[in-house]
Amino acid sequence: MDSAAVVGTGLIGTSIALALRGRGVATYLIDTDQEAARVAAGLGAGIAGPPRGPVDLAVLAVPPQQVAAALKEHQLRGLADDFTDAASVKEPPQLEAARLGCDLARFVGGHPMGGREQSGPLAARDDLFHGRPWVLTPSALTRPQTLERAERLAELCGARPVVMAHAEHDRAVALTSHTPHLVSTLLAARLLHGERSQLGLAGQGLQDVTRLAGGSAELWTDILGSNAVAVADVLADFAHDVDDAVEVLRGLSTAREPEQRRTHLEALSTVLVRGVQGRARLPARGGTGAPSTSTAYAAAPRGA
Amino acid sequence: MDSAAVVGTGLIGTSIALALRGRGVATYLIDTDQEAARVAAGLGAGIAGPPRGPVDLAVLAVPPQQVAAALKEHQLRGLADDFTDAASVKEPPQLEAARLGCDLARFVGGHPMGGREQSGPLAARDDLFHGRPWVLTPSALTRPQTLERAERLAELCGARPVVMAHAEHDRAVALTSHTPHLVSTLLAARLLHGERSQLGLAGQGLQDVTRLAGGSAELWTDILGSNAVAVADVLADFAHDVDDAVEVLRGLSTAREPEQRRTHLEALSTVLVRGVQGRARLPARGGTGAPSTSTAYAAAPRGA
């Protein structure tokens, strides 16, 4: 791959562009906010503005609900031979792109699994995706060369390409990213009901569990809205578990007999043990399912 | 304060003892597991075994359900003039201590708001409570000198004494610590239902939001069981919010009219904005409600 274009020079797009520039790929930066593209260019992420002729691959680093329209627009303009995107949801943009009559042979959905709390080009890092999975979701129409170029893009960014079906990806991120984001958000919103003296006791644990809630409300409305079915399924199962836990705690607080109390404590203990077991299933840092060798990652990202 | 005893040489007890030793207080280490007391002594936390005569203050650093029995036992033995504890729940141990006929004039409940993921004496740090609140819950019976000694203990550990009523403390930690722990645990337990290929996509965000779930299931069964009423109240409110979010997502996935969809997206956006606002209410690190000047804290603890 000799040349690329990045459409959308926020955190993700600029990080991709920085990585490509670092590997010698001629990279063009396009954003509806031209100032953002110039900032990215100033960081060394490439050249602000469109190329003269088509580049090899264009990456649409825009929110999920804008992917299909951006694909349509830039295919019509002949921005690139092949196209991919970087959105956190894969099935709805694909369906919308089909509806808009995009050239689906030259498009493959993509989702680099990296991110940070901060947003915008100034938060970008060329190692944001080092050692991380980069999901690619070819459709039946995607031509092999398009998939190969997207795989090459992932590798140039130090990521590990992982091919999945659209719906499979969307269910996976509903479990591992979108529902956790929403749960963190709902818990943080509960703090609006706390007294200042109560919140003064908060420690690092509460900081950790609510960290995701600090993300962009606008972007996450788009992401969660785009993946509503899959997130609703996971969140409904979670809601059921929460209701059960409330029952156990209510049972404990009203239990009169030691035997009753013991039964409820055992149920509570089971919940806590299952939490320990669930957490133990998480891959080691780097998300490879095995300990990562990427030291660059250890200091950096958080999953988008 | 010239002399102290720490009963229970786990993470919290040993950290307190290390801080006291660092300030020149003669400190005795007592644990039903004598090996744990010897390990703590080997770390420089004090002398393993009981003192010859009563020390000024004994700290009962045992789980909530063991505090009252430990107070009874060590008051009978004459371990110290005054007693405090370090448990995460304050009202039930106080009530149980009254039931057991302890000398409540010479006891004040305490809760140093610091901790780490790891447990045991080897994880202890003399700066674990630096810049953190240390809640003290005197009863109507507590004599002034006992409270003063406990305040001095907190200060010797670099913490900030905060006097609260028992129930007020228990409601505050239900919101800021216990419910977040349980929510993190319930979310982590959901991962037991995920495929390995799904979990491979997990990133730093999921690590953060489930970090508390990695805590000791045994200790947390005790803590949550001891504070069941207050936690159930907060968790029930949270459950209501989760149910509402499921409804919004279901509505989004079935909405046929753009107007319907817009209404649901606005509701979703409100949830996310409230999360951002709730998180913004958290005190800066150090838990003081203002930016902490304690650089020692920045690298260290997580709330228990």
Q: Tens digit of pLDDT for each residue in A88-134?
A: 999 999 999 999 999 999 999 999 998 887 889 999 999 999 999 99
Residues A2-32: tens digit of each pLDDT: 999 999 999 999 999 999 999 999 999 999 9
- Regarding whether B123 and B109 lie in a shared domain, the answer is yes
Would the CB atoms of B282 and A253 count as touching at under 8 Å?
A: no
Would the CB atoms of A212 and B208 count as touching at under 8 Å?
A: yes
- Regarding whether B179 and B151 lie in a shared domain, the answer is no
Query: What's the pLDDT score for residue B290?
Result: 33
B186: nearest CB among A133, A181, A242: A242
- Regarding whether B77 and B17 lie in a shared domain, the answer is yes
Phi, psi of A277 (to 5 degrees): -70, -40
Q: How confident is the model at residue A290 (pLDDT cuts 50, 70, 90)?
A: very low
Would the CB atoms of B180 and A187 count as touching at under 8 Å?
A: yes
B242: nearest CB among A198, A213, A239: A239
Residue B295 within a domain: no
SS3 category, B45:
coil
Instruction: Answer for the pair A179, A238: CB distance below 8 angstroms, yes or no.
Output: yes
Q: What is the DSSP letter of B191?
A: G
b (16+ CB within 10 A) / e for A186-217: bbbbbbeebeeebbbbbbbbbbbbbbbbbbbb
Kindly tell me if the per-residue pLDDT of B291 is higher than 60. no
Q: Which residues in chain B are closer than 8 Å to A190, comparing Cβ atoms?
A: 175, 179, 234, 237-238, 241, 278
CA-closest candidate to residue A181, choices B132, B77, B205:
B205
Query: What's the pLDDT score for residue B118?
Result: 81
Long-range contacts of B117-120 (CB under 8 A, 24+ apart): B117/B211, B117/B214, B117/B215, B117/B302, B118/B11, B119/B10, B119/B11, B119/B216, B119/B219, B120/B10, B120/B11, B120/B36
Would the CB atoms of A204 and B303 count as touching at under 8 Å?
A: yes
Residue B53 within a domain: yes
Tell me whether B125 touches chain A (CB under 8 Å). no
Please report, as a single letter, which amino acid is at residue B219.
L
Question: In this prediction, what percent of chain B has a pLDDT beyond 90?
Answer: 89
Number of domain units in chain B: 2
Residue B213 within a domain: yes
Residue A206 within a domain: no
- Regarding whether B156 and B21 lie in a shared domain, the answer is yes
Instruction: Answer for the pair B271, A184: CB distance below 8 angstroms, yes or no.
Output: no
Would the CB atoms of A236 and B225 count as touching at under 8 Å?
A: no
Q: Which residues in chain A are closer than 8 Å to B136, comparing Cβ atoms?
A: none
Segment A285-302 shows an average pLDDT of 33
CA angle B120, B122, B128 (to 5 degrees): 85
Tell me whether B284 touches chain A (CB under 8 Å). no
Residue A74 within a domain: yes
Query: What's the pLDDT score for residue B63?
Result: 94
Would the CB atoms of A282 and B191 count as touching at under 8 Å?
A: yes
Ordered strands of the B107-112 beta sheet: B47-48, B26-30, B3-7, B55-60, B80-85, B107-112, B133-137, B160-163
3-state secondary structure B278-302: HHHCCCCCCCCCCCCCCHHHHCCCC
Would the CB atoms of A183 and B231 count as touching at under 8 Å?
A: no
Question: In this prediction, what percent of chain B has a pLDDT beyond 70?
Answer: 93
Would the CB atoms of B278 and A220 count as touching at under 8 Å?
A: no
CA distance A65 to A93: 7
Q: Which residues in chain B are closer than 8 Å to A184, comparing Cβ atoms?
A: 205, 209, 275
Residues B160-211: tens digit of each pLDDT: 999 999 999 999 999 999 999 999 999 999 999 999 999 999 999 999 999 9
- Regarding whether B123 and B194 lie in a shared domain, the answer is no
Kindly tell me if the per-residue pLDDT of B304 is higher than 70. no
Kindly tell me if the per-residue pLDDT of B296 is higher than 90. no
Q: How confident is the model at residue B283 (pLDDT cuts 50, 70, 90)?
A: confident
Residues A26-84: tens digit of each pLDDT: 999 999 999 999 999 999 999 999 999 999 999 999 999 999 999 999 999 999 999 99
Tell me whether A211 touches chain B (CB under 8 Å). yes
Q: Return residues 175-204 of B near A (CB < 8 Å).
A: 175-177, 179-204
Q: How confident is the model at residue A208 (pLDDT cuts 50, 70, 90)?
A: very high
Query: What's the pLDDT score for residue A285?
Result: 59
Tell me whether B207 touches chain A (CB under 8 Å). yes
SS3 category, B69:
helix
Kindly tell me if the per-residue pLDDT of B288 is higher than 80. no
Question: In this prediction, what percent of chain A has a pLDDT beyond 70?
Answer: 93
What ipTM goes with this model? 0.88
3-state secondary structure B97-148: HHHCCCCHHHEEEEEECCCCCCCCHHHCCCCCCCCCEEEEECCCCCCHHHHH
Q: Return residues 256-275 of B near A (CB < 8 Å).
A: 264-265, 268-269, 271-275
Please report, as a single letter, which amino acid is at residue B38.
R
CA distance B12 to A144: 59
Instruction: Answer for the pair A47, A73: CB distance below 8 angstroms, yes or no.
Output: no
Please state, rounded to an integer, the average pLDDT across all residues of chain B: 92
Would the CB atoms of A282 and B234 count as touching at under 8 Å?
A: no
Tell which of B164, B191, B224 closes a domain.
B164
- Sign of the C-alpha dihedral computed for residues B52, B54, B58 and B64 taken in this order: positive
Please state, rounded to an integer, the average pLDDT across all residues of chain A: 92
Instruction: Answer for the pair A90, A135: CB distance below 8 angstroms, yes or no.
Output: yes
Q: Which residues in chain A are closer than 8 Å to B265, comparing Cβ atoms?
A: 221, 225
Query: From the candidates B137, B163, B170, B279, which should be mutated to test the interface with A, based on the most A CB atoms within 10 A?
Result: B279
- Regarding whether B238 and B137 lie in a shared domain, the answer is no
Kindly tell me if the per-residue pLDDT of B295 is higher than 60. no
Query: What's the pLDDT score for residue A210?
Result: 97
CA distance A94 to A111: 13
- Regarding whether B159 and B11 lie in a shared domain, the answer is yes
Phi, psi of B110 (to 5 degrees): -145, 150
User: What's the CATH code of the domain at B18?
Assistant: 3.40.50.720
Query: What's the pLDDT score for residue A270?
Result: 98
Domain extent, residue A31, equals: 3-165
Tell me whether A72 touches chain B (CB under 8 Å). no
Segment A232-242 shows an average pLDDT of 98
Q: Which residues contact B59 (CB under 8 A, 6 or more apart)?
A: B4, B5, B6, B7, B13, B16, B83, B84, B85, B86, B110, B153
Query: What's the pLDDT score for residue B202?
Result: 95
Q: Which residues in chain B are closer than 8 Å to A242, comparing Cβ atoms?
A: 183, 186, 235, 238-239, 242
Segment B219-233 shows an average pLDDT of 96
Would the CB atoms of A133 and B271 count as touching at under 8 Å?
A: no
Query: What's the pLDDT score for residue A118?
Result: 81
Tell me whether A240 touches chain B (CB under 8 Å). no
Residue B296 within a domain: no
Query: From the candidates B136, B171, B204, which should be mutated to test the interface with A, based on the most A CB atoms within 10 A?
Result: B204
Residue A187 within a domain: no
B217: nearest CB among A188, A231, A269: A269
Element (H or E) spanning B58, and its range? strand B55-60
Would the CB atoms of A287 and B132 count as touching at under 8 Å?
A: no
- Regarding whether B131 and B7 lie in a shared domain, the answer is yes
Name the burial class of residue A52, with classes exposed (0-12), middle (13-18) and buried (19+) by CB atoms within 10 angstroms of its CB.
exposed
Query: What residue in B sits closest to A236 (Cα-Cα)?
Result: B246
- Regarding whether B271 and B194 lie in a shared domain, the answer is yes
Query: What's the pLDDT score for residue B112?
Result: 97
Phi, psi of A66 (to 5 degrees): -105, -5
Q: How confident is the model at residue B287 (pLDDT cuts 50, 70, 90)?
A: very low
Tell me whether A231 touches chain B (CB under 8 Å). yes
Segment A218-224 shows an average pLDDT of 95
Tell me whether A301 touches chain B (CB under 8 Å). yes
Would the CB atoms of B203 and A301 count as touching at under 8 Å?
A: yes
User: What's the CATH code of the domain at B181?
Assistant: 1.10.3660.10
A186: nearest CB among B173, B242, B288: B242
Kindly tell me if the per-residue pLDDT of B294 is higher than 90. no
Residues B252-277: tens digit of each pLDDT: 999 889 999 999 999 999 999 999 99
Kindly tell me if the per-residue pLDDT of A283 is higher than 90. no
Segment B125-137 shows an average pLDDT of 97
Tell which of B106, B131, B164 closes a domain.
B164
Q: How confident is the model at residue A163 (pLDDT cuts 50, 70, 90)?
A: very high
Q: Which residues contact A299 (CB under 8 A, 6 or more apart)?
A: none
| Pair of tokens at residue B218 | 């045994």
CA-closest candidate to residue A1, choices A134, A148, A188, A113:
A148
- Regarding whether B189 and B140 lie in a shared domain, the answer is no
CA-closest candidate to residue B107, choices B65, B74, B66, B154:
B74
Q: Is B248 left (phi over 0), alpha (psi -120 to 50) or beta?
A: alpha
Residues B2-29: tens digit of each pLDDT: 999 999 999 999 999 999 999 999 999 9
CA-closest candidate to residue A246, choices B40, B107, B232, B3:
B232
CA distance B232 to B78: 38
How close A198 comes to chain B (CA, Å)? 5
Residue A192 within a domain: no
- Measured from the Cβ of residue A270, the count of other Cβ atoms closer than 10 Å reads 14
CA distance A168 to B139: 57
